[in-house]
């Protein structure tokens, strides 16, 4: 499929031609022109299937270009766009043979839907061709993912039977959302290979339609359903057994699916929504197949009460402060049981876990961990694994872990490290430390370097930079105030040192948090 975009407004022209991934919708070539005359000169050579043109343009306007297009190609679909809403333009355009008319500003989704509709119409005459079914497939998947109903059920049945051999005699289907993730639970750390994708699709292909719907290893599954509750239960059990088998074949992957109840073919979008909601339950339940939550699970509550979140955060903070491991584990267990019992939305639970992390970072002066954030806060852990990792982080990466690390230091160096962490915002020199701990400056410098492997100045700067990093990421304190509170004499000095140690400016770090 070839698309021609004609508009004298560069922003609109490039927005349509470059701002939309047309290849995703079956359009392999796109050319853009700044006026109708240049487009006209390329009509014979390019031979577009679809033209999107502005009405008002210099040299040759959209209506005049339409006349030229109709002389060369009666089958070409022609879509006019304009900032002018006068009905006379639409009337004239339709009279001259325009296929559609859309007003600026153009919304990408509406334009895509308009183009898809015209592509489908264009290919009606090529029903038997592979191209027709390829485009039709993209069209109906696009409709399902965007919540639109399948308009022509007969055409959908024809596609399924002709291309896949699937019959939907009762005009009912079961819809599934399949998600493939890494065994290490960090999504997309290693892309799923094409070979793995093909094998999974091949295993599931019997009596089912399977297609990749996005770049994040998400598939849609559609299989025939029926009105009999017993037969649908049998279908669900067969799907369950198949996915158990697939997970054994690919031990390094986690392949999960949420499936809807049996629904009419006109409501496939509703089935996709049910499958998505069912799949959300994987966060709280360690299993690989999730049936429609409306039938199996109680209705999810959307939000955890703020007073309950505050209570849990304060209790964990107190337990961590006094290093009561048993109390911390007991509170986390209570959180888990509360979430399961009240059936809170997985999205809300994850949001609360993230709030708890930031709360502890701020109130405990903990060092943030990018690895922890990626794996636990933004990864694909189940709730039980999230809690286990959080407990491990608190007891190993927080103050308990630091204490264990310092047991190899002498009493003098341990005391100096503790003093630095408590007074990092003040002016600290080796001479001042020597006076405080009744040693010579040379003794302090040499002993600190020998035991820690770094100079005292480097150690102090690393502590200050880490504290500054936490403030930039997890508070709204102005950057110049962050510099003051972390012991730097001036904003300029802070900026230079921060860039030296992190490779990034403080402003960049603050912007990343806001984004």
Termini Cα distance of the chain? 37
pLDDT at res. 513 = 60
CATH architecture assigned to 130-296: 2-Layer Sandwich (3.30)
Structure tokens of 479? Answer: 């950057």
pTM above 0.85? no
CATH architecture assigned to 2-125: 3-Layer(aba) Sandwich (3.40)
The span from the CA of 337 to the CA of 161, in Å, is 47
How, if at all, do strands 218-224 and 263-264 pair?
unpaired
- Tell which residue, 246, 274, 244, has the closest CA to residue 260: 274
Which whole number is the average pLDDT over 291-313?
Answer: 68
Cα dist. 216→141, 180, 182, 255, 450 in Å? 16, 8, 12, 13, 49
pLDDT at res. 205 = 66
pLDDT at res. 508 = 84
What are the residues facing 177 on neighbouring strands?
220, 258
pLDDT at res. 403 = 42
E strands in 167-288 = 172-182, 209-212, 218-224, 253-259, 263-264
Chain segment 224-268, per-residue pLDDT in tens: 988 887 887 787 788 888 888 888 888 777 788 888 888 999 899
Task: Map residue 477 onto helix, strand or coil.
Answer: coil
Confidence of residue 400 (pLDDT cuts 50, 70, 90): very low
Q: Which of 11-15, 144-148, 206-210, 365-369 has the lowest mean pLDDT?
A: 365-369
pLDDT at res. 381 = 66
Q: What's the chain's average pLDDT? A: 81
The span from the CA of 18 to the CA of 227, in Å, is 46
Confidence of residue 298 (pLDDT cuts 50, 70, 90): very low
E strands in 7-56 = 29-33, 50-54
Among 1.20.1260.10, 1.10.10.60, 3.50.50.60, 1.10.357.10, what is the CATH number of 408-514? Answer: 1.10.10.60
62 and 53 in contact (C-beta within 8 Å)? yes
Backbone phi and psi for residue 306, each to the nearest 5 degrees, phi listed first: -60, -40
Q: Which of 87-91, 111-115, 342-346, 451-455 has the lowest mean pLDDT?
A: 87-91
């Amino acid at each position: 499929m070839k698309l021609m975009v004609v508009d004298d407004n560069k922003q609109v022209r490039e927005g349509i031609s470059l701002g939309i991934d047309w290849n995703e919708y079956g359009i392999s070539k796109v050319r853009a022109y700044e006026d109708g005359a240049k487009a006209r000169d390329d009509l014979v050579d390019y031979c577009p299937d679809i033209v999107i043109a502005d009405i008002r343009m210099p040299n040759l306007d959209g209506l005049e270009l339409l006349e030229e297009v109709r002389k060369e190609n009666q089958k070409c679909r022609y879509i006019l766009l304009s900032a002018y809403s006068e009905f006379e333009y639409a009337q004239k355009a339709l009279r001259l043979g325009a296929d559609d008319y859309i007003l600026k500003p153009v919304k990408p989704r509406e334009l895509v839907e308009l183009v898809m509709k015209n592509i489908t119409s264009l290919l009606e005459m090529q029903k038997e061709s592979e191209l027709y079914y390829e485009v039709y497939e993209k069209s109906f998947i696009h409709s399902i993912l965007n919540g639109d109903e399948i308009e022509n059920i007969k055409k959908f049945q024809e596609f399924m039977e002709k291309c896949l051999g699937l019959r939907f005699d009762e005009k009912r289907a079961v819809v599934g959302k399949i998600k493939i993730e890494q065994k290490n639970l960090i999504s997309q750390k290693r892309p799923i290979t094409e070979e793995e994708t093909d094998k999974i699709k091949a295993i599931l292909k019997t009596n089912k339609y399977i297609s990749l719907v996005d770049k994040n290893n998400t598939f849609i599954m559609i299989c025939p359903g029926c009105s009999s509750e017993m037969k649908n239960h049998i279908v669900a059990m067969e799907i369950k057994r198949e996915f158990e088998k697939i997970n054994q074949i690919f031990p390094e992957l986690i392949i999960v699916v949420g499936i809807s109840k049996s629904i009419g073919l006109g409501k496939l979008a509703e089935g996709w929504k049910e499958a998505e909601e069912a799949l959300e339950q994987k966060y709280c339940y360690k299993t690989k197949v999730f049936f429609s939550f409306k039938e199996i699970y109680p209705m999810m509550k959307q939000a955890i009460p703020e007073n309950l979140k505050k209570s849990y955060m304060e209790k964990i903070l107190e337990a961590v402060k006094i290093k009561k491991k048993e109390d911390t584990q007991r509170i986390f267990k209570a959180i888990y049981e509360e979430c399961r019992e009240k059936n809170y939305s997985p999205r809300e639970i994850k949001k609360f876990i993230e709030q708890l992390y930031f709360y502890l970072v701020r109130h405990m002066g903990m060092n943030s961990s990018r690895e922890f954030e990626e794996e636990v806060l933004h990864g694909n852990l189940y709730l039980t694994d999230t809690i286990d990792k959080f407990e491990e982080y608190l007891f190993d990466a927080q103050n308990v872990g630091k204490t264990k690390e310092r047991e190899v230091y002498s009493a003098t160096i341990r005391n100096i490290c503790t003093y630095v962490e408590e007074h990092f915002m003040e002016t600290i020199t080796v001479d001042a430390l020597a006076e405080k701990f009744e040693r010579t400056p040379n003794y302090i410098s040499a002993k600190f370097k020998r035991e820690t492997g770094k100079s005292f100045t480097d150690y102090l700067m690393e502590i200050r930079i880490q504290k500054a990093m936490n403030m930039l990421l997890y508070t709204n304190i102005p950057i110049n105030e962050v510099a003051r509170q972390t012991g730097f004499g001036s904003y300029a000095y802070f900026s230079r040192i921060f860039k030296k140690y992190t490779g990034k400016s403080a402003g960049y770090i603050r912007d990343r948090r806001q984004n």
